[in-house]
Every structure is written in structure tokens, then in C-alpha cells.
Amino acid sequence: MERTPITVHPPSPSGGRRVTAKGQILGLAHSDADLVEFLRRAGLEDAEHLLDDPARVLWRGGHAHEYAA
């Protein structure tokens, strides 16, 4: 999964953003800390440094780092 794009989907109406990689749901993030933890569990040890790398993480809908609906 080293070069797999990560997708952070638009905020859900109840808050949080679904996170997927390779078509698999990693979880529902309510903060950057949640997102980093999901990426670490997926094997990306440098997860905290990837969040603003557009080649690795695609933020869809809404602004990056915002999780509220």
C-alpha cells in the first residue's frame, strides 16, 4: 500500500469523514488524529506527514482537515 492514494470523503451529515484506500473503508475519521491512526493501521508509518501530500491523500468535498458536517 506504499504508493496507494488515500481518499478522505466529504463530511457526512452526522460529522466525520469516511477514509478509503484501494477501495476498502479504513474508518470514519472525526479528526486528523483519527485519520493518522487509520493510516498507521494500514501500514503507513509516516502517516502524519502524508495528510497534505496531494499525490498520496485526496480530500474530496469540504476543506482538508475539517470533519464537521
- Whether 5 and 50 have beta carbons less than 8 Å apart is answered as no
- Whether 6 and 20 have beta carbons less than 8 Å apart is answered as yes
- Per-residue confidence (pLDDT) for residue 62, from 0 to 100: 87
Which residues lie below 8 Å from residue 33, measured CB to CB, with a gap of 6+? none
The pLDDT tens digits of the residues spanning 10-47 come to 999 999 999 999 889 999 999 999 999 999 999 988 89
The DSSP letter of residue 68 is: -
In this model, does residue 2 exceed pLDDT 70? no
End-to-end CA distance of the chain: 29
pTM over 0.85: yes
The pLDDT tens digits of the residues spanning 53-62 come to 999 999 999 8
In this model, does residue 3 exceed pLDDT 80? no
